[in-house]
C-alpha cells in the first residue's frame, strides 16, 4: 500500500476521521442491542462472515479474482490475526456486554494502545519516558474501573472477559505488523474476517448457543445490520484510507475518542448510567492513551535520518501497517 499523505486539515481527511470516531464508537451500542435477543458469539460470527463475503465480492469485481490470491503462509498469518482480533477480541466483548454496560466495555477496551507499548518493551524496544508515564497513568485508570467494576455498573465476569478481549486484540494488533501479511490490506481483512467469523460460529455452537429467528427482536436485527454495513465495512474502509493518507498520529486519536462516543451513546440511547467512577477512570485512561499517542508522534531527535531497521516511523504511517 503506497502512502500518499494528504493535508491533515483537508475536509476529506476530517470527514473520514469523523466516520471512524463516531461509527467505531457506536459499535458498542450496536453490540448492546444485538446481544439482547441474539447469542453473542453466533451473532458476531454472522457479522464477520457476511462482511467478509461482501468485501471479497467487491474486491473481485473491482480488481479481479487475483486480488485474493495470496501465499499460504500469508494466508495463515492473516487467519491467526483474525482469530486474535475478532474471535478473541470482538467475540468476548459481545459476551461481556451481557454483564456490563457498553460504555464501561469501551473504556476498558481503550487500554489496547497501552498494552501495545508493553509488548514493545517486552521485545526489546525502548519507548520514551513520557510514553511509559502515559502507560502507567492509563493502567491506573484501568485499575480503578476494574477494582470498582465501574462503580457497580457491571459484574466481575463482564469486566474480566472484556479485559481478556482487550489483551487478545492487542496481541493480534501487535503481531499484524510483524508477521508476513497479504500485500493488499483489504484482502488481508477478508481473510481475517472470514477466519474470525467461522471460528466465532464454531465457538458459539460449541458452547450451546442457538439462534431462534422468531425470538430475535427488530432492534437486534437492525443492530446486526448496522455492525455489518457500518462497523465492518464503512468504518474499516475509512480506517484503511486514513492509514495511507493521513499522519498516523492523527489516525491514532480514534483510540481515545471512541470510548467517549460509546459512553455518550450508551447514556443517550440505552439508558446506561455514567457513574462518577466510570467518568473518573475513563478520563484517566483517555489521558494516558492521549499522552502515549502525542508522544509517539514526535520524531526522536537523536535518531539518524530515516528509521532504523526494525523501528517504527514516528510521524507517518508505515506501508506495513494493517487494518485493525
The helix (run of H) or strand (run of E) holding residue 26 is helix 11-37
Determine, yes or no, domain membership for 4. Answer: no
Decide if 204 contacts 39 (C-beta within 8 A): yes
- CA proximity to 102, closest of 38, 39, 36: 36
pLDDT at 255: 72
Q: What is the pLDDT along the chain (324 residues), one digit of tens a residue?
A: 444 545 555 788 888 888 998 998 999 999 999 999 999 999 999 999 999 999 999 999 999 999 999 999 999 999 999 999 999 999 999 999 999 989 889 888 888 888 888 888 888 888 888 888 888 888 888 888 888 876 666 688 898 999 999 999 989 988 887 889 898 889 999 999 999 999 999 999 999 999 999 999 999 999 999 999 999 999 888 887 887 677 766 777 777 788 888 888 998 998 888 788 888 888 888 888 888 877 765 555 444 333 333 333 333 333 333 333
CB-count burial class (<10 Å; 0-12, 13-18, 19+) for 6: middle
Domain for residue 5, yes or no? Answer: no
HSE-up of residue 323 (Cα within 13 Å, Cβ side): 29
CA dist 305 to 42, 129, 299, 317, Å? 50, 22, 10, 16
pTM reported for the whole predicted model: 0.82
| Domain boundaries, position 171 | 11-296
Q: Is residue 314 part of a domain?
A: no
Q: Is 239 a domain residue?
A: yes
Q: Would you say residue 305 lies in a domain? A: no
Domain count, the chain: 1
Q: Name all contacts of 132-137 with Cβ < 8 Å and 24+ positions apart.
A: 133/291, 134/287, 134/288, 134/289, 134/290, 134/291, 134/292, 134/295, 135/288, 135/292, 136/288, 137/284, 137/287, 137/288, 137/291
Residue 303 is assigned to a structural domain of this protein = no
Residue 98 lies in a domain: yes
With respect to residue 115, please indicate whether it lies within any of the assigned structural domains: yes
Helix (H, G, I), strand (E, B) or coil at 301: coil
Amino acid at each position: 500500500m503506497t502512502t500518499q499523505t494528504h493535508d491533515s486539515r483537508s475536509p476529506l481527511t476530517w470527514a473520514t476521521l469523523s466516520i471512524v470516531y463516531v461509527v467505531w464508537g457506536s459499535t458498542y451500542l450496536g453490540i448492546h442491542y444485538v446481544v439482547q435477543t441474539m447469542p453473542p458469539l453466533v451473532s458476531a460470527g454472522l457479522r464477520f462472515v457476511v462482511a467478509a463475503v461482501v468485501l471479497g465480492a467487491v474486491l473481485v469485481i473491482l480488481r479481479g479474482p487475483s486480488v485474493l490470491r495470496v501465499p499460504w503462509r500469508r494466508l495463515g498469518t492473516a487467519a491467526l490475526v483474525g482469530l486474535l482480533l475478532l474471535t478473541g477480541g470482538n467475540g468476548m466483548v459481545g459476551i461481556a456486554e451481557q454483564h456490563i454496560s457498553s460504555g464501561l466495555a469501551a473504556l476498558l477496551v481503550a487500554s489496547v494502545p497501552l498494552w501495545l507499548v508493553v509488548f514493545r518493551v517486552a521485545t526489546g524496544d525502548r519507548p520514551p519516558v513520557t510514553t511509559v508515564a502515559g502507560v502507567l497513568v492509563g493502567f491506573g485508570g484501568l485499575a480503578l474501573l476494574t477494582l470498582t467494576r465501574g462503580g457497580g455498573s457491571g459484574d466481575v465476569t463482564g469486566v474480566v472477559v472484556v479485559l481478556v478481549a482487550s489483551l487478545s486484540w492487542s496481541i493480534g494488533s501487535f503481531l499484524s505488523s510483524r508477521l508476513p501479511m497479504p500485500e493488499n490490506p483489504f484482502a488481508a481483512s477478508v481473510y481475517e474476517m472470514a477466519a474470525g467469523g467461522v471460528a466465532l460460529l464454531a465457538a458459539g455452537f460449541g458452547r450451546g448457543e442457538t439462534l431462534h429467528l422468531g425470538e430475535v427482536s427488530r432492534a437486534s436485527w437492525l443492530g446486526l445490520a448496522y455492525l455489518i454495513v457500518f462497523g465492518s465495512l464503512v468504518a474499516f474502509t475509512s480506517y484503511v484510507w486514513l492509514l495511507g493518507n493521513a499522519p498516523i498520529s492523527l489516525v491514532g486519536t480514534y483510540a481515545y475518542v471512541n470510548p467517549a462516543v460509546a459512553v455518550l451513546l450508551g447514556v443517550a440511547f440505552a439508558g446506561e448510567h455514567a457513574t462518577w467512577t466510570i467518568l473518573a477512570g475513563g478520563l484517566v485512561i483517555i489521558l494516558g492513551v492521549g499522552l502515549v499517542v502525542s508522544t509517539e508522534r514526535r520524531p526522536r531527535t537523536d535518531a539518524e535520518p530515516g528509521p532504523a531497521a526494525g523501528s517504527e516511523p514516528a510521524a507517518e504511517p508505515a506501508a506495513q501497517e494493517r487494518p485493525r
